[in-house]
Chains A and B, each alone.
Chain A
Protein backbone atom coordinates (compact mmCIF):
# COMPACT_ATOMS: atom_id res chain seq x y z
CA UNK A 1 0.00 0.00 0.00
CA UNK A 2 1.09 3.55 -0.81
CA UNK A 3 3.00 5.16 2.09
CA UNK A 4 1.21 8.48 1.62
CA UNK A 5 -2.20 6.80 1.76
CA UNK A 6 -1.23 5.06 5.01
CA UNK A 7 -0.21 8.40 6.52
CA UNK A 8 -3.44 10.06 5.34
CA UNK A 9 -5.55 7.27 6.90
CA UNK A 10 -3.54 7.50 10.14
CA UNK A 11 -4.01 11.27 10.23
CA UNK A 12 -7.75 10.93 9.63
CA UNK A 13 -7.97 8.21 12.29
CA UNK A 14 -6.34 10.49 14.86
CA UNK A 15 -8.37 13.53 13.77
CA UNK A 16 -10.85 14.92 16.26
CA UNK A 17 -13.05 16.38 13.51
CA UNK A 18 -15.97 13.98 12.91
CA UNK A 19 -15.98 14.83 9.20
CA UNK A 20 -12.87 12.64 8.97
CA UNK A 21 -15.22 9.62 9.34
CA UNK A 22 -17.08 10.49 6.13
CA UNK A 23 -13.78 10.87 4.23
CA UNK A 24 -12.62 7.46 5.49
CA UNK A 25 -15.94 5.90 4.52
CA UNK A 26 -16.12 7.55 1.11
CA UNK A 27 -12.53 7.06 -0.05
CA UNK A 28 -11.34 4.20 2.14
CA UNK A 29 -14.11 1.63 2.53
CA UNK A 30 -15.16 2.08 -1.12
CA UNK A 31 -11.64 1.55 -2.43
CA UNK A 32 -11.11 -1.32 -4.91
CA UNK A 33 -7.86 -2.13 -3.07
CA UNK A 34 -8.37 -4.76 -0.34
CA UNK A 35 -5.45 -3.42 1.68
CA UNK A 36 -6.84 0.11 1.70
CA UNK A 37 -10.28 -1.17 2.77
CA UNK A 38 -8.74 -3.28 5.52
CA UNK A 39 -6.55 -0.46 6.82
CA UNK A 40 -9.44 2.02 6.69
CA UNK A 41 -11.83 -0.33 8.52
CA UNK A 42 -9.30 -0.81 11.32
CA UNK A 43 -8.78 2.96 11.53
CA UNK A 44 -12.55 3.48 11.86
CA UNK A 45 -12.74 0.88 14.67
CA UNK A 46 -9.82 2.53 16.50
CA UNK A 47 -11.74 5.83 16.58
CA UNK A 48 -14.29 3.99 18.77
CA UNK A 49 -17.14 6.46 18.33
CA UNK A 50 -20.72 5.68 17.32
CA UNK A 51 -20.51 6.99 13.73
CA UNK A 52 -17.22 5.26 12.88
CA UNK A 53 -18.30 1.91 14.39
CA UNK A 54 -21.64 2.08 12.60
CA UNK A 55 -19.80 2.31 9.23
CA UNK A 56 -18.03 -1.04 9.75
CA UNK A 57 -20.95 -2.88 11.41
CA UNK A 58 -24.23 -1.96 9.76
CA UNK A 59 -23.18 -1.33 6.15
CA UNK A 60 -23.35 -4.18 3.69
CA UNK A 61 -20.00 -4.83 1.96
CA UNK A 62 -18.01 -2.79 4.52
CA UNK A 63 -16.05 -3.70 7.64
CA UNK A 64 -17.28 -6.96 9.15
CA UNK A 65 -19.62 -7.40 6.15
CA UNK A 66 -16.87 -6.99 3.53
CA UNK A 67 -16.76 -9.60 0.78
CA UNK A 68 -13.06 -10.09 1.39
CA UNK A 69 -12.62 -12.44 4.39
CA UNK A 70 -9.26 -10.78 5.14
CA UNK A 71 -10.90 -7.38 5.52
CA UNK A 72 -13.79 -8.76 7.62
CA UNK A 73 -11.53 -10.79 9.91
CA UNK A 74 -9.10 -7.90 10.35
CA UNK A 75 -11.99 -5.61 11.34
CA UNK A 76 -13.33 -8.18 13.82
CA UNK A 77 -9.86 -8.55 15.37
CA UNK A 78 -9.65 -4.79 15.81
CA UNK A 79 -13.09 -4.76 17.49
CA UNK A 80 -12.03 -7.57 19.85
CA UNK A 81 -8.91 -5.66 20.85
CA UNK A 82 -10.81 -2.51 21.86
CA UNK A 83 -10.40 -1.56 25.52
CA UNK A 84 -13.81 0.10 25.84
CA UNK A 85 -16.35 -2.14 24.13
CA UNK A 86 -19.49 -0.47 25.44
CA UNK A 87 -20.28 1.46 22.24
CA UNK A 88 -19.60 -1.45 19.90
CA UNK A 89 -21.86 -3.76 21.97
CA UNK A 90 -24.66 -1.19 21.81
CA UNK A 91 -24.41 -0.95 18.00
CA UNK A 92 -24.24 -4.73 17.63
CA UNK A 93 -27.38 -5.12 19.77
CA UNK A 94 -29.24 -2.53 17.71
CA UNK A 95 -28.10 -4.21 14.48
CA UNK A 96 -29.19 -7.66 15.68
CA UNK A 97 -32.60 -6.43 16.72
CA UNK A 98 -33.41 -3.85 14.05
CA UNK A 99 -31.42 -4.32 10.81
CA UNK A 100 -33.36 -5.31 7.72
CA UNK A 101 -30.62 -7.42 6.10
CA UNK A 102 -30.35 -10.98 7.49
CA UNK A 103 -26.66 -11.34 6.48
CA UNK A 104 -25.70 -8.16 8.35
CA UNK A 105 -27.74 -9.35 11.35
CA UNK A 106 -26.00 -12.75 11.29
CA UNK A 107 -22.53 -11.16 11.12
CA UNK A 108 -23.34 -8.86 14.02
CA UNK A 109 -24.55 -11.86 16.04
CA UNK A 110 -21.30 -13.73 15.34
CA UNK A 111 -19.17 -10.79 16.39
CA UNK A 112 -21.19 -10.40 19.59
CA UNK A 113 -20.65 -14.08 20.39
CA UNK A 114 -16.93 -13.64 19.88
CA UNK A 115 -16.97 -10.62 22.18
CA UNK A 116 -18.74 -12.65 24.85
CA UNK A 117 -16.12 -15.40 24.56
CA UNK A 118 -13.13 -13.04 24.61
Chain B
Protein backbone atom coordinates (compact mmCIF):
# COMPACT_ATOMS: atom_id res chain seq x y z
CA UNK B 1 0.00 0.00 0.00
CA UNK B 2 2.83 2.24 0.81
CA UNK B 3 4.26 1.46 -2.68
CA UNK B 4 1.08 2.55 -4.32
CA UNK B 5 1.18 5.77 -2.44
CA UNK B 6 4.69 6.41 -3.72
CA UNK B 7 3.63 5.90 -7.28
CA UNK B 8 0.66 8.13 -6.94
CA UNK B 9 1.30 11.45 -8.54
CA UNK B 10 0.18 14.85 -7.67
CA UNK B 11 -1.45 16.79 -10.42
CA UNK B 12 0.78 19.72 -10.01
CA UNK B 13 4.01 17.65 -9.98
CA UNK B 14 6.46 18.31 -12.83
CA UNK B 15 7.36 15.27 -15.00
CA UNK B 16 11.01 14.98 -15.91
CA UNK B 17 11.54 13.68 -19.48
CA UNK B 18 14.69 11.50 -19.54
CA UNK B 19 14.97 11.68 -23.36
CA UNK B 20 14.79 15.39 -23.61
CA UNK B 21 17.95 16.88 -25.13
CA UNK B 22 19.45 20.03 -23.88
CA UNK B 23 18.61 23.00 -26.03
CA UNK B 24 20.34 25.39 -23.86
CA UNK B 25 21.74 28.23 -25.88
CA UNK B 26 24.66 28.38 -23.54
CA UNK B 27 26.08 25.04 -24.79
CA UNK B 28 26.94 25.35 -28.52
CA UNK B 29 29.53 22.66 -29.04
CA UNK B 30 28.65 19.21 -27.62
CA UNK B 31 32.25 18.03 -28.06
CA UNK B 32 33.71 21.07 -26.48
CA UNK B 33 34.95 19.27 -23.41
CA UNK B 34 35.51 15.88 -24.96
CA UNK B 35 38.97 14.46 -25.07
CA UNK B 36 39.62 12.25 -28.10
CA UNK B 37 43.16 11.55 -26.95
CA UNK B 38 44.68 11.88 -30.37
CA UNK B 39 42.03 9.75 -32.17
CA UNK B 40 40.90 12.61 -34.33
CA UNK B 41 39.48 11.83 -37.75
CA UNK B 42 41.55 12.54 -40.78
CA UNK B 43 39.31 14.85 -42.81
CA UNK B 44 41.40 14.45 -45.90
CA UNK B 45 40.69 10.69 -45.91
CA UNK B 46 36.99 11.13 -45.25
CA UNK B 47 36.45 13.39 -48.26
CA UNK B 48 38.75 11.53 -50.59
CA UNK B 49 35.83 10.10 -52.54
CA UNK B 50 34.58 13.57 -53.46
CA UNK B 51 37.72 14.58 -55.27
CA UNK B 52 37.42 15.05 -59.05
CA UNK B 53 38.79 11.99 -60.80
CA UNK B 54 41.15 12.70 -63.64
CA UNK B 55 39.52 11.05 -66.71
CA UNK B 56 41.69 10.09 -69.62
CA UNK B 57 41.11 12.35 -72.63
CA UNK B 58 42.28 9.60 -74.90
CA UNK B 59 39.60 7.27 -73.55
CA UNK B 60 36.92 9.89 -74.13
CA UNK B 61 38.04 10.47 -77.70
CA UNK B 62 38.22 6.74 -78.36
CA UNK B 63 34.70 6.15 -77.07
CA UNK B 64 33.29 9.03 -79.12
CA UNK B 65 35.05 7.77 -82.26
CA UNK B 66 33.75 4.25 -81.63
CA UNK B 67 30.22 5.66 -81.33
CA UNK B 68 30.57 7.57 -84.56
CA UNK B 69 31.90 4.50 -86.34
CA UNK B 70 28.94 2.46 -85.16
CA UNK B 71 26.60 5.14 -86.50
CA UNK B 72 28.40 5.22 -89.82
CA UNK B 73 28.28 1.43 -90.07
CA UNK B 74 24.54 1.36 -89.48
CA UNK B 75 24.05 4.11 -92.05
CA UNK B 76 26.15 2.19 -94.60
CA UNK B 77 24.19 -1.02 -94.11
CA UNK B 78 20.97 0.89 -94.65
CA UNK B 79 19.64 0.18 -98.17
CA UNK B 80 20.17 3.09 -100.53
CA UNK B 81 16.47 3.28 -101.45
CA UNK B 82 15.45 3.48 -97.78
CA UNK B 83 18.08 6.13 -97.19
CA UNK B 84 16.85 8.21 -100.13
CA UNK B 85 13.23 7.85 -99.03
CA UNK B 86 14.13 8.89 -95.49
CA UNK B 87 15.99 11.97 -96.70
CA UNK B 88 13.13 12.78 -99.07
CA UNK B 89 10.55 12.51 -96.28
CA UNK B 90 12.57 14.62 -93.88
CA UNK B 91 13.06 17.26 -96.59
CA UNK B 92 9.35 17.23 -97.39
CA UNK B 93 8.46 17.57 -93.72
CA UNK B 94 10.85 20.46 -93.33
CA UNK B 95 9.39 22.15 -96.39
CA UNK B 96 5.81 21.62 -95.17
CA UNK B 97 6.74 23.08 -91.83
CA UNK B 98 8.36 26.07 -93.50
CA UNK B 99 5.34 26.63 -95.72
CA UNK B 100 2.89 26.51 -92.82
CA UNK B 101 4.89 28.85 -90.67
CA UNK B 102 3.95 32.48 -91.01
CA UNK B 103 7.01 34.56 -91.51
CA UNK B 104 6.17 38.19 -92.06
CA UNK B 105 8.80 40.05 -93.87
CA UNK B 106 8.95 43.82 -93.56
CA UNK B 107 7.84 45.75 -96.58
CA UNK B 108 11.24 46.30 -98.04
CA UNK B 109 11.32 45.87 -101.84
CA UNK B 110 14.68 44.08 -101.88
CA UNK B 111 13.62 41.62 -99.23
CA UNK B 112 10.32 41.02 -100.99
CA UNK B 113 12.14 40.12 -104.20
CA UNK B 114 14.39 37.74 -102.33
CA UNK B 115 11.39 36.09 -100.73
CA UNK B 116 9.63 35.65 -104.07
CA UNK B 117 12.72 34.18 -105.65
CA UNK B 118 13.21 31.72 -102.80
CA UNK B 119 9.55 30.67 -103.06
CA UNK B 120 9.73 30.15 -106.81
CA UNK B 121 12.91 28.10 -106.46
CA UNK B 122 11.51 25.94 -103.72
CA UNK B 123 8.42 25.13 -105.80
CA UNK B 124 10.43 22.21 -107.19
CA UNK B 125 8.99 18.88 -106.22
CA UNK B 126 11.11 17.45 -103.43
CA UNK B 127 9.95 13.96 -104.36
CA UNK B 128 11.48 14.41 -107.81
CA UNK B 129 14.77 15.38 -106.23
CA UNK B 130 14.66 12.20 -104.17
CA UNK B 131 13.86 10.14 -107.26
CA UNK B 132 16.68 11.68 -109.23
CA UNK B 133 19.11 11.02 -106.36
CA UNK B 134 17.93 7.41 -106.23
CA UNK B 135 18.22 6.96 -109.99
CA UNK B 136 21.65 8.51 -110.01
CA UNK B 137 22.89 6.24 -107.22
CA UNK B 138 21.39 3.07 -108.72
CA UNK B 139 22.76 4.03 -112.14
CA UNK B 140 26.22 4.44 -110.69
CA UNK B 141 25.99 1.15 -108.79
CA UNK B 142 24.98 -0.72 -111.97
CA UNK B 143 27.78 1.05 -113.84
CA UNK B 144 30.26 -0.10 -111.18
CA UNK B 145 28.88 -3.64 -111.40
CA UNK B 146 29.23 -3.76 -115.19
CA UNK B 147 32.72 -2.31 -114.94
CA UNK B 148 33.70 -4.96 -112.41
CA UNK B 149 32.33 -7.68 -114.70
CA UNK B 150 34.36 -6.31 -117.60
CA UNK B 151 37.48 -6.14 -115.43
CA UNK B 152 36.87 -9.73 -114.33
CA UNK B 153 36.51 -10.90 -117.95
CA UNK B 154 39.65 -9.07 -119.04
CA UNK B 155 41.61 -10.48 -116.11
CA UNK B 156 40.38 -13.98 -116.90
CA UNK B 157 41.39 -13.65 -120.56
CA UNK B 158 44.80 -12.24 -119.65
CA UNK B 159 45.32 -14.99 -117.10
CA UNK B 160 44.45 -17.68 -119.68
CA UNK B 161 46.90 -16.12 -122.13
CA UNK B 162 49.64 -16.07 -119.51
CA UNK B 163 49.01 -19.68 -118.55
CA UNK B 164 49.04 -20.65 -122.23
CA UNK B 165 52.43 -18.99 -122.67
CA UNK B 166 53.82 -20.62 -119.54
CA UNK B 167 52.66 -24.04 -120.73
CA UNK B 168 54.06 -23.42 -124.18
CA UNK B 169 50.54 -23.74 -125.61
CA UNK B 170 50.12 -21.46 -128.63
CA UNK B 171 46.80 -22.85 -129.83
CA UNK B 172 44.07 -20.52 -128.59
CA UNK B 173 41.10 -18.71 -130.08
CA UNK B 174 43.42 -15.69 -130.31
CA UNK B 175 45.47 -17.51 -132.95
CA UNK B 176 44.48 -16.53 -136.48
CA UNK B 177 42.42 -18.92 -138.63
CA UNK B 178 45.22 -19.15 -141.22
CA UNK B 179 47.73 -20.22 -138.59
CA UNK B 180 45.28 -22.80 -137.21
CA UNK B 181 44.72 -24.16 -140.73
CA UNK B 182 48.49 -24.49 -141.27
CA UNK B 183 48.90 -26.25 -137.94
CA UNK B 184 46.10 -28.67 -138.75
CA UNK B 185 47.49 -29.39 -142.20
CA UNK B 186 50.89 -30.04 -140.61
CA UNK B 187 49.26 -32.50 -138.19
CA UNK B 188 47.52 -34.29 -141.08
CA UNK B 189 50.82 -34.52 -142.95
CA UNK B 190 52.57 -35.98 -139.88
CA UNK B 191 49.74 -38.53 -139.42
CA UNK B 192 50.01 -39.57 -143.11
CA UNK B 193 53.77 -40.02 -142.84
CA UNK B 194 53.35 -42.09 -139.68
CA UNK B 195 50.79 -44.32 -141.41
A residues near B (Cβ < 8 Å) are 2, 4-5, 7-8, 10-12, 14-17, 19-20, 23, 27, 31
Contact B185 A17, beta carbon cutoff 8 Å: no
Q: Which residues of B contact A20 (CB under 8 A)?
A: 177, 180
Identify A17's interface contact among B177, B187, B188, CB under 8 A: B177
A19 neighbours in B (Cβ, 8 Å): 177
* A27-B185 contact in complex given A4-B171, A7-B171, A8-B171, C-beta closer than 8 Å: yes
Tally B residues with Cβ within 8 Å of A: 15
Summed over the interface, the residue pairs from A and B with CB atoms below 8 Å come to a total of: 41
Dominant SS at the B interface? Answer: helix
A8-B169 in contact (CB<8A): no
Taking the nearest CB of chain B, how far is it from the CB of A91, in angstroms?
23
Q: Which 8 residue pairs of A and B lie closest in terms of their CB atoms, listed nearest first?
A: A14-B173, A7-B171, A8-B184, A23-B181, A19-B177, A20-B177, A17-B177, A11-B173
List 16 A-B residue pairs with CB atoms under 8 Å apart, sorted by A's residue number: A4-B171, A4-B183, A8-B183, A10-B171, A11-B171, A11-B172, A11-B173, A11-B180, A15-B180, A16-B173, A17-B176, A19-B177, A20-B177, A20-B180, A23-B181, A23-B184
Point out the residues of chain B lying under 8 angstroms from A16, CB to CB: 173
Cβ of B94 within 8 Å of any chain A Cβ, yes or no, is no
Q: How far is the CA of A11 from the CA of B180 in the complex (A)?
A: 8
> Given the complex, which residues of B lie within 8 Å of A5, measured CB to CB?
184, 187
Do most interface residues of chain A lie in helix, strand or loop, or is the interface mixed? helix
Beyond A11-B172, A27-B184, whether A2 also contacts B177 by CB under 8 A is no
User: Does B180 contact A23, Cβ atoms closer than 8 Å?
Assistant: yes
A2-B191, A7-B169 known; A12 vs B183 contact (CB < 8 Å):
no
Residues in A whose Cβ lies below 8 Å from that of B191: 2
- On whether the beta carbons of B175 and A11 are closer than 8 Å, the reply is yes
Of chain B, the residue at the smallest CB distance from A9 is B184
